[in-house]
Amino acid sequence: MSLIDSFPEMVLTTKIDQLLNWTRKSSLWYMLFGLACCAIEMMQTGGPRSDLDRFGMVPRATPRVSDLMIVAGTLTLKMALRTKVLYEQMPDPKYVLSMGSCANCGGLFQLAYSVCDGVDKVIPVDVYVPGCPPRPEALTEGLMMLQEKMMQEKWLVRSEPRASV
Contacts with another protein by CB under 8 A lie at 77-78, 80-81, 105-106, 110, 113-114, 116-118, 121-122
The CB-of-129 to another protein minimum distance in angstroms stands at 16
Which is closer to another protein, CB of 82 or CB of 154?
82
Chain centre distance of CA 159: 23
Q: How far is Cα 80 from Cα 12, in angstroms, rounded to an integer?
A: 45
The CB-of-110 to another protein minimum distance in angstroms stands at 6
At 25, which helix (H) or strand (E)? Answer: helix 16-25
Which is closer to another protein, CB of 78 or CB of 154?
78
The CB-of-121 to another protein minimum distance in angstroms stands at 5
Q: How far is Cα 37 from Cα 108, in angstroms, rounded to an integer?
A: 13
- For residues 119 and 83, the answer to whether their CB atoms sit within 8 Å is yes
The CB-of-103 to another protein minimum distance in angstroms stands at 12
3 state SS of 30? strand
Which is closer to another protein, CB of 100 or CB of 118?
118
Which is closer to another protein, CB of 45 or CB of 104?
104
DSSP 36: S
